[in-house]
Amino acid sequence: MVLAIGLTVVLAHTTGAGAAVPGATRLRSYEAGYAVTTHVATPSFARQTGLACSVCHTHYPELTATGRAFKLNGYVYRRADSLQGRSPEGQQNLLLNLVTPLSFMFQTSYTATKKAQPGTQNGVIFFPDQLSLFTGGEITPHVGGFVQVTFDPQSGSLGIDNTDLRYANHTTVFGSHTTYGLSLNNNPTVQDVWNSTPAWGFPYGSSAAAPAPLAATQIDGTLGQQVAGLTAYTLWNDHIYLEGGAYRSAPVGTTRPLDATAAGVLSGVAPYWRAAFPNTFGSQYLSIGTYGMTMKMFPAGVSGPSNKFTDIAFDASYLLPLGANSFTTDATWIHETQRWDAGGAANTRNTLNTVRFDAMYHIGHEYAFTVAPFVTTGTADTLLYAPAPMTGSRLGSPNFSGVIGEVDVMPWQNLRMQFQYVYYGKFNGAKSNYDGSGRNASDNNTVYILFWLLF
Amino acid sequence: MKRALALAVFAAAPLASQAPTLKVDPAWLKVDSGSRVEFSLVAGLTTANGGMNFNGASAGGLTLTVPAHWTVILHFRNNDQVLPHSAMVIAAVTPVPVSGATPAFEHAVTHRADQGLPADGHEDVQFVADKAGSYLVYCAVPGHGAAGMWIRLEVSSTATQPQVAATPPKTQ
């Protein structure tokens, strides 16, 4: 995920537009926004709560009912020993974990595409793929959170990754239990408790070395670690979840205050909304919802004309317990309208539509089998999606589709071996010769083997 | 400020390893006429075991004994303001299952056992204890029972009256 920081900065200095940028930079920006993702669980939470990973996750980072409650309540639940301090008046003013709230993630991976990328060696080994330090848990009885710092082996740098700090409390509204709180975070949807939204959605780990399609909506990871936002949320009667807030540019690795050299800066703040309606049907759990953002973005500098992006999304999460096993699905549809009034695209109006779905069968907590089709379609734009060897589009099209098949083996809850195959039926607008240089979509089919350790 | 800080540090002391003695409230148990017993089963009644307790007891620290063939009504309520909880009567096994257990008696489970009832959620569970033996009343939300959220239920072929009593919790 730290890769997202560096690469999205490249994007910001290039055009400031999240949808697409020319040539190789455009590919890398997309990787930053969507493809290079790893989502995790944090062992420091397990140490604080005294609960195994499997209590809060079916298959991390996918959350169980306990995991959702833990997050909504500010990560403050604890069973571990604590240290308390009191003022001379006897009022408690300190409550610290006796267990240091630190944990580590080490990943190493192997990536091979069906056909080597031009001029490169196929069969890429990352050692590490990612190396992350987490600190997280209860800070005060109503405040908690987590901060992830990740080392990127390609840039050799250490950077801030996903962060979510929150305050949570309870009250009674219309006779029903109500949880409410505030989240301060750096990636829209990272605060969400359902795995159907982008920040914690499938795939939970994907290759940083494989080619990735050009197009991605803003809310689909493009803004990750480039913004800071404050949202307020409430869950009423365990059935109605509402959240609203706003984000403002806060890019990492850029001189402050932002000035004429900056790119991709939000004009003012970008409103964010979320509603979800969870319910149970016997032993089955289903949540349907909507989320979205709207933003104006300067293509260059911090003033002048801006482009406008509006993302409206719908999502669903489903869980079916089957004894010790379970079946889960997550789905989302994101519709983005783009108004390129400030330039940067061939058209003044474009749209993008992304649909993702994953179906996962869990055998205990040791195995998981996943099938996850994905489709993105949108308006052809010869500037946004220009031809370029491997990374571009011969047709100026953002369209791509495919399916991910994955097998995960977890002999221990904090050790995962992930075997993933990504098949592309269409890539940057075409099945064959998509880039105008003779490369086919299937040439980008990817084998990705990832080995995770969390401790 | 310096003085206050010094005092605060001086007052610092470990928490949560304290194990308060379980106080059994006789009002939890109500014996009706006609071989029927009602029991108030409160999840997260206290903060013991991080709230993962029934009536303040965890890991078998409370035992409800009922005569065989009596009708048992569990008035379940989730008092835990953070986590969802449920209740299911299962056969006494070691280790306590993480998930996927089945009720030992028909209807001896709250209706959303895997997901649990939210804070302040409540439900009455009624079943006939028609097989003598040792059972557990455990939270079937995955992982909660394994974390100690269970008490004992003894269905006795010799007892003539229900009773509830604190019992030694199982040590890990």
Spell out which residues of chain A touch residue B79, defining contact as CB-CB under 8 Å. none
Q: What is the pLDDT of residues B46-88, one digit of tens each?
A: 989 888 999 999 999 999 999 999 999 999 999 999 899 999 9
Tell if the CB–CB gap between B120 and A238 is shorter than 8 Å: no
Residue B85 contacts residue A64 (beta carbons within 8 Å): no
State the Cα–Cα distance between residues A273 and A30, nearest whole angstrom.
Answer: 24
* Sole residue written with tokens 């499997």: A54
Pick from B76, B84, B51, B144: nearest CA to A179:
B84
Spell out which residues of chain A touch residue B116, defining contact as CB-CB under 8 Å. 65-66
> Which residues, in sequence order, are CB contacts of A120 under 8 Å at separation 6+?
none
Tell if the CB–CB gap between B8 and A280 is shorter than 8 Å: no
Pick from A332, A377, A329: nearest CA to A356:
A332
Shortest distance, CA A41 to any CA of chain B (angstroms): 16
Tell me which residue in B13, B100, B115 faces A280 most closely, judged by beta carbons.
Answer: B115
Per-residue pLDDT, B16: 39
Q: What is the pLDDT of residues A363-418, one digit of tens each?
A: 988 999 999 999 999 999 999 999 999 999 999 999 999 999 999 999 998 999 99
Tell me which residue in A70, A77, A81 faces B17 most closely, judged by beta carbons.
Answer: A81
Pick from A371, A361, A378: nearest CA to A326:
A361
State the Cα–Cα distance between residues A123 and A113, nearest whole angstrom.
Answer: 7
Whole-prediction pTM:
0.86
Tell me which residue in B9, B49, B83 faces A69 most closely, judged by beta carbons.
Answer: B83
Tell if the CB–CB gap between A88 and B111 is shorter than 8 Å: no
Amino acid making up residue A77: Y
State the Cα–Cα distance between residues B147 and A109, nearest whole angstrom.
Answer: 34
Element (H, E) at A277: strand A270-281
Domain boundaries defined on chain B = 31-166
Q: What is the pLDDT of residues A211-249, one digit of tens each?
A: 999 999 999 999 999 999 999 999 999 999 999 999 999
Per-residue pLDDT, B99: 82
Q: Which parts of A25-123 are beta strand (E)? A: 57-59, 62-63, 82-86, 92-97, 102-113
Nearest chain B residue to A178 by CA distance is B119
Spell out which residues of chain A touch residue B59, defining contact as CB-CB under 8 Å. none
Residue A341 contacts residue A305 (beta carbons within 8 Å): yes
Pick from A73, A274, A69: nearest CA to A166:
A73
Element (H, E) at A23: helix A23-30
Tell me which residue in B14, B82, B100 faces A73 most closely, judged by beta carbons.
Answer: B82
* Sole residue written with tokens 């069969």: A123
| CB–CB contacts below 8 A, A to B | 118
Q: What share of chain A is helix, strand, coil (3-state, %, to 5)?
A: 15, 50, 40
Spell out which residues of chain A touch residue B98, defining contact as CB-CB under 8 Å. 52, 54-55, 324
> Which residues, in sequence order, are CB contacts of B121 under 8 Å at separation 6+?
A177, A238, B77, B78, B84
Inform me whether the pLDDT recorded for A11 exceeds 60. Answer: no
Tell if the CB–CB gap between A77 and B50 is shorter than 8 Å: yes
Per-residue pLDDT, B20: 56
- Superfamily name with CATH number, domain B31-166: Cupredoxins -  blue copper proteins (2.60.40.420)
Tell if the CB–CB gap between B82 and A77 is shorter than 8 Å: yes
Residue A49 contacts residue A77 (beta carbons within 8 Å): yes
Angle at A312 between CA A249 and CA A224, to 5 degrees: 30
DSSP-based three-state secondary structure for A427: strand
Nearest chain A residue to B120 by CA distance is A177
Spell out which residues of chain B touch residue A74, defining contact as CB-CB under 8 Å. none
Shortest distance, CA B129 to any CA of chain A (angstroms): 23
State the Cα–Cα distance between residues B65 and B86, nearest whole angstrom.
Answer: 20
Residue A195 contacts residue A25 (beta carbons within 8 Å): no
Nearest chain A residue to B18 by CA distance is A81
Shortest distance, CA B7 to any CA of chain A (angstroms): 6
Tell if the CB–CB gap between B16 and A81 is shorter than 8 Å: yes
Inform me whether the pLDDT recorded for A208 exceeds 70. Answer: yes
Shortest distance, CA A72 to any CA of chain B (angstroms): 9
Inform me whether the pLDDT recorded for B135 exceeds 80. Answer: yes
Q: What is the pLDDT of residues A331-346, one digit of tens each?
A: 999 999 999 999 999 9
Element (H, E) at A70: helix A65-72
Per-residue pLDDT, A80: 73
Element (H, E) at A53: helix A53-56
Q: What is the pLDDT of residues A321-333, one digit of tens each?
A: 888 899 999 999 9
Spell out which residues of chain A touch residue B121, defining contact as CB-CB under 8 Å. 177, 238
Nearest chain B residue to A278 by CA distance is B115
A17: left (phi over 0), alpha (psi -120 to 50) or beta: beta
A61: left (phi over 0), alpha (psi -120 to 50) or beta: alpha
Residue A82 contacts residue A98 (beta carbons within 8 Å): yes
Shortest distance, CA B136 to any CA of chain A (angstroms): 18
Dihedral pair phi/psi, residue A384, rounded to 5°: -65, -35
Tell if the CB–CB gap between A84 and B15 is shorter than 8 Å: yes
Spell out which residues of chain A touch residue B11, defining contact as CB-CB under 8 Å. 84-86
State the Cα–Cα distance between residues A5 and A132, nearest whole angstrom.
Answer: 14
Tell if the CB–CB gap between B146 and A83 is shorter than 8 Å: no
Residue B141 contacts residue B86 (beta carbons within 8 Å): yes
Spell out which residues of chain A touch residue B114, defining contact as CB-CB under 8 Å. 65, 283, 285, 319, 321
Number of Cβ within 10 Å of residue B156's Cβ equals 18
Domains in chain A with CATH codes? 2-83+92-454 (2.40.160.10)
Angle at A256 between CA A246 and CA A296, to 5 degrees: 35
Spell out which residues of chain A touch residue B113, defining contact as CB-CB under 8 Å. 283
Shortest distance, CA A105 to any CA of chain B (angstroms): 23
Q: How would you write B128-167 as a 3-class SS string?
A: ECCCCEEEEEECCCCCCCCCCCEEEEEEECCCCCCEEEEC
The complex scores an ipTM of 0.78
The number of residues making up chain A comes to 455
Spell out which residues of chain B touch residue A56, defining contact as CB-CB under 8 Å. 143
State the Cα–Cα distance between residues A262 and A264, nearest whole angstrom.
Answer: 7
Shortest distance, CA A86 to any CA of chain B (angstroms): 5
Predicted confidence band of residue B121 (pLDDT cuts 50, 70, 90): very high
Predicted confidence band of residue A43 (pLDDT cuts 50, 70, 90): confident
| Residue scoring higher pLDDT (B7 or A433) | A433
- DSSP code at position A19: S
Mean pLDDT estimate for chain B? 87
State the Cα–Cα distance between residues A251 and A263, nearest whole angstrom.
Answer: 10
Strand partners, A243: A233, A274
Cis peptide before A257 (omega within 30 of 0): yes
Q: How would you write B3-70 as a 3-class SS string?
A: HHHHHHHHHCEEECCCCCCCCCCHHHEEEECCCEEEEEEEECCCCHHHHCCECCECCCCEEEEEECCC
Inform me whether the pLDDT recorded for B17 exceeds 60. Answer: no
Q: What is the pLDDT of residues A265-324, one digit of tens each?
A: 999 999 999 999 999 988 899 999 999 999 999 999 999 999 999 999 999 999 998 888
Tell me which residue in A73, A88, A285 faces B115 most closely, judged by beta carbons.
Answer: A285
Nearest chain B residue to A81 by CA distance is B16
Dihedral pair phi/psi, residue A443, rounded to 5°: -65, -20
Q: How many CA atoms lie within 13 A of B103 on its CB side?
A: 20
